Chain A
Amino acid sequence: DTAVSQTPKYLVTQMGNDKSIKCEQNLGHDTMYWYKQDSKKFLKIMFSYNNKELIINETVPNRFSPKSPDKAHLNLHINSLELGDSAVYFCASSHNNNEQFFGPGTRLTVL
């Protein structure tokens, strides 16, 4: 009965590879987000989708491409991975208010 789930929990890959992270929420929320937490624990918004429409796209390299097949899912695809992409990526969701519920995170390590 997990509210916001992410897969995988850990992802270790080589530089230059392409990888995807998946997020699903079963809360019936209409807005989903991707946040990045760096090695210093700083959390920063990357993208936001509302009803499958992109509404926030922060200054994120074009190598990052979010996709929302439906309101319950928001995936993040990363092309040509770089060392600096190593971080924990959190998915979150909210509905009609500001309360955001976060997933457990995906720890990405680029070697």
Chain B
Amino acid sequence: QQQVKQSPQSLIVQKGGISIINCAYENTAFDYFPWYQQFPGKGPALLIAIRPDVSEKKEGRFTISFNKSAKQFSLHIMDSQPGDSATYFCAASMDTGRRALTFGSGTRLQVQP
């Protein structure tokens, strides 16, 4: 059972464009939703995270939008740059008890110059 579904699998965006990656979750006990960025040969690195008490969080060019009723959240990368080319993973976990991350399947983003 895939508890966190991520789309698209791959994404090509022109430099300066907006990259949008979507995730949907099933387990209503999840209350922490991070996005991780992974470059080839490296470990995942935390990019930005949100909790369900807010509908949007922005850090620089990265924004998470969160829709609790729809059980969906998305990552928007504004002014996408070639250096943003990487694999992005959404994830979810519980704030207490079991804190292990349940990951989405990943989105490979290519930003073309």
Q: Which residues of A contact B (CB under 8 A)?
A: 4, 31, 33, 35, 40-45, 48, 55-56, 58, 90, 92, 94, 98-105
Contacts and interface: CB of A to CB of B under 8 A. Distances in A.
Contact of A42 (B42, B43, B103): B103
Contacts of B46: 99-101
A56 B100 contact: yes
10 contacts: A35-B101, A40-B105, A41-B38, A43-B101, A55-B98, A56-B98, A98-B34, A98-B95, A99-B34, A102-B43
A33 B100 contact: yes
Interface residues of B, number: 23
Contacts, number: 58
A100 B98 contact: no
Nearest to A90: B43
A40 B89 CA distance: 13
Interface string B26-56: 0000001010101001111110010000000
Looking at B38, B44, B106, the one whose CB has the most chain A CB atoms below 10 A away is B44
Contacts of B42: 104-105
A89 B42 CA distance: 11
Contact of A98 (B45, B89, B99): B99
Contact of B43 (A40, A55, A56, A105): A105
A41 B40 CA distance: 11
A84 B34 CA distance: 29
Looking at B34, B43, B95, B103, the one whose CB has the most chain A CB atoms below 10 A away is B43
